[in-house]
Amino acid sequence: MSVSSSPLTHLIPIDPRIYCETMNELHSYITSAKRGYLTQAELFRYYRQRHENAEIPYRLLGYRSLLDLLSSDPRLFAIDLRREPAYVYSAVKVIYFKKKYKFKN
């Protein structure tokens, strides 16, 4: 899995509360997904359904794309760019399974 390589340039002051709430909410969508991952389109759709058709505030937070926002915290999200569309996983689960797999060998 790889992560978007765009630099983190924040020219807009970020409200840490909005950032944390958004990241936690997006992470909760992924952890509750039956397949263990979601695509960007699914994240956009779930967010709009729960916020009266509002968009994910990645631009308000100073990011150019949703993937850039998600890539800003690799402790929460792992992004597989080899797939089209990209799959977004919970990094917490990915790290857990990697550790679990190593212990079995």
What is the three-class DSSP state of 2?
Answer: coil
- Of 105, 21, 13, give the one whose Cα is nearest residue 56: 21
Distance, in Å, from the CA atom of 41 to the CA atom of 60, rounded to the nearest integer, reads: 19
pTM of the model: 0.75
Give the pairing type, strands 37-39 and 77-80. unpaired
Q: Is the pLDDT of residue 52 over 50?
A: yes
Q: Say if 2 falls within a structural domain.
A: no
Q: Say if 7 falls within a structural domain.
A: no
Number of domains in the chain: 1
Determine the structural domain holding residue 56 and report its residue range. 16-104
E strands within the chain?
A: 37-39, 77-80, 87-90
CATH of residue 60: 3.30.420.610
Q: Say if 28 falls within a structural domain.
A: yes
Q: Say if 21 falls within a structural domain.
A: yes
- pLDDT at residue 104 in the model: 45
Ranges 31-35, 39-43, 89-93: which has the least confidence? 89-93
Q: Say if 65 falls within a structural domain.
A: yes
Q: Say if 81 falls within a structural domain.
A: yes
Q: Say if 11 falls within a structural domain.
A: no
Q: Say if 4 falls within a structural domain.
A: no
